[in-house]
Amino acid sequence: MAKPRVYKTEAIVLKRSNLGEADKILVIYTPNLGKIRAVAKGVRRSKSKLGGNVETLIHSSMMLAQGRNLDIITQSQTIDSFLPLRSDLWRTSCALYTAELVDRFTEEHIENYPVYRLLLDTIKNIIEEEDVNRLLRHFEIRLLGYLGYKPELKTCIHCKKALEPVENYFSASGGGTLCPACRLAEPAVRPLSLNALKVMRLLQQSSYQQASRVKLNEGLSKELEAIMRSYITYILEREVKSVQFLDELRRPQNYQS
Amino acid sequence: MLNFQSTPEPISRLIEEFNKLPGIGPKSAARLTYYLLRMPEGDARALAEAVLAVKENVMLCSVCQNITVADPCSICNNTQRDHSITCIVEEPLDILAIERTRKYSGVYHVLHGVISPADGIGPDDLKIKELLTRIQNDDVKEIILATNPNLEGEATAMYIQRLIAPLGIRVTRLARGLPAGGDLEYADEITLTRALEGRQEF
């Protein structure tokens, strides 16, 4: 269906970059139109009425007009600015990480409502969540599922047999688990403890409300993070940039998460 | 791209150089080049020298990291100014904006950027280390965080605040509120919330 000349949509602002003297290019994620790159004119002037309504990580209702190249944001009314998030450096960075993942994994103009919902719910949850790491793992594994990269966690990807309750292996290149007998079938496999496997299955299958009942100790949390990071880096074929800053914040001399 | 085959080499070279500048496409580059061609030689020479002088004589002030022709810069060198207050800004242009107010008599520190995790710009890419050594050595009583009031600016401000907090120096942030001449109706909720929080006795 052709887009009308002016259209209205909800959107989450993933990213902004400067354009010309006072404009910005926004990357926004919408429920029915997927990812859109659009221009917000004059927003860097302090008197711009658009200004704070097109800030990064804002949930807002926007009016856009089709432009020759990029669409132009003509109005924006904030629905939720996630204000408590903005006064916490660690949580802001985590939310930026989720936004970067969505930006990297999606193409423009491809609708994916579950991804939109997941992103919105996750950002809302980050504000109050005790264990943000667990929330991020849930976000990652669900996002991958919605985008067609759902990791196989039930059977061995090589021999197709159901996994035994022992230490198994995870292969980023194969996109799933390997049983101990087949662990040489793929290059660069990582050991996957039974507990980690169980948590991954739980995160993959359930809503965050259900998944948040499981408590992760530090070791398990680190193991899951390392596995998901290797898988994500493998699919994207590049590092996720905001991860560096998350690591930086976690260094003890700076700030305890 | 333009076809340069019929243009003499020095001309096409200058066109290409202009083309690298922001906001200048191949057409404008060609127009500028042909304008320069008709310019008196003195003017053209002055332009060329000005371009070179910018690169040769301008450096970063070793104290505040502002761009300057003399090190330390005129602001850091000025004994009339209050060296116990340091205002942290993102870009050299921000200093000009604050200087225009004529209300600030302290010194500055330029970060030359802002923490932006999504672009891979971290604290190490900014002049934060220089800031820390500076405030540890000098007698600084107050740090004013004057980064832009957007997500990246706030993140940078919070990050620096966290680094400085243990040193026992007073850290302040520029007030965030309504712009003069603006309209309340168009103010976004972040700005209005901050304006309400930061309201003052009238």
Please list, in sequence order, all residues whose beta carbon lies within 8 angstroms of the beta carbon of residue A200, skipping any fewer than 6 positions away.
A137, A141, A151, A153, A192, A224, A227
Confidence of residue B104 (pLDDT cuts 50, 70, 90): very high
Q: Which of residues 17-36 of B touch A (CB under 8 A)?
A: 23
- B40 min Cα distance to partner chain A (Å): 31
CATH architecture assigned to A6-81: Beta Barrel (2.40)
Residue A248 CB coordination number (10 Å): 17
> Would the pTM count as exceeding 0.80?
yes
CATH architecture assigned to A87-249: Up-down Bundle (1.20)
Whether A230 has a pLDDT exceeding 70, the answer reads yes
ipTM for this model? 0.80
Whether B3 has a pLDDT exceeding 90, the answer reads no
* Between residues A1 and A75, the one the model is more confident about: A75
Q: Is A196 exposed, middle or buried (0-12, 13-18, 19+ CB in 10 A)?
A: buried
pLDDT of residue A253: 53
Whether B168 has a pLDDT exceeding 90, the answer reads no
Beta bridge partner(s), residue A17: A25
Whether A46 has a pLDDT exceeding 60, the answer reads yes
Please indicate if any CB of chain A lies within 8 Å of the CB of B119: yes
C-alpha to C-alpha distance for A117 and A15, rounded to whole angstroms = 18
Confidence of residue B5 (pLDDT cuts 50, 70, 90): low
Average pLDDT over residues A106-131: 92
Domains of chain B from N-terminus onward? 9-57 (1.10.8.420), 67-201 (3.40.1360.10)
Q: Closest residue of A to B158, CA-based?
A: A89
pLDDT of residue A58: 92
Buried b (16+ CB within 10 A) or exposed e, A12-40: bbbbbeebeeebbebbbbbbebbbbbbbb
CB contact under 8 A, B118 and A99: yes
What is the tens place of the pLDDT at every residue in A169-192? 999 988 899 998 888 888 888 999
pLDDT of residue B200: 87
* Between residues A177 and A51, the one the model is more confident about: A177
Whether A255 has a pLDDT exceeding 70, the answer reads no
If you average pLDDT over every residue of chain A, what do you get? 89
Domain residues of chain A, as ranges? Answer: 6-81, 87-249
What is the tens place of the pLDDT at every residue in B128-144? 888 888 888 888 899 99
- A164 min Cα distance to partner chain B (Å): 40
Q: Is A60 exposed, middle or buried (0-12, 13-18, 19+ CB in 10 A)?
A: buried
pLDDT of residue A254: 47
Confidence of residue A256 (pLDDT cuts 50, 70, 90): very low
CB contact under 8 A, A83 and B190: yes
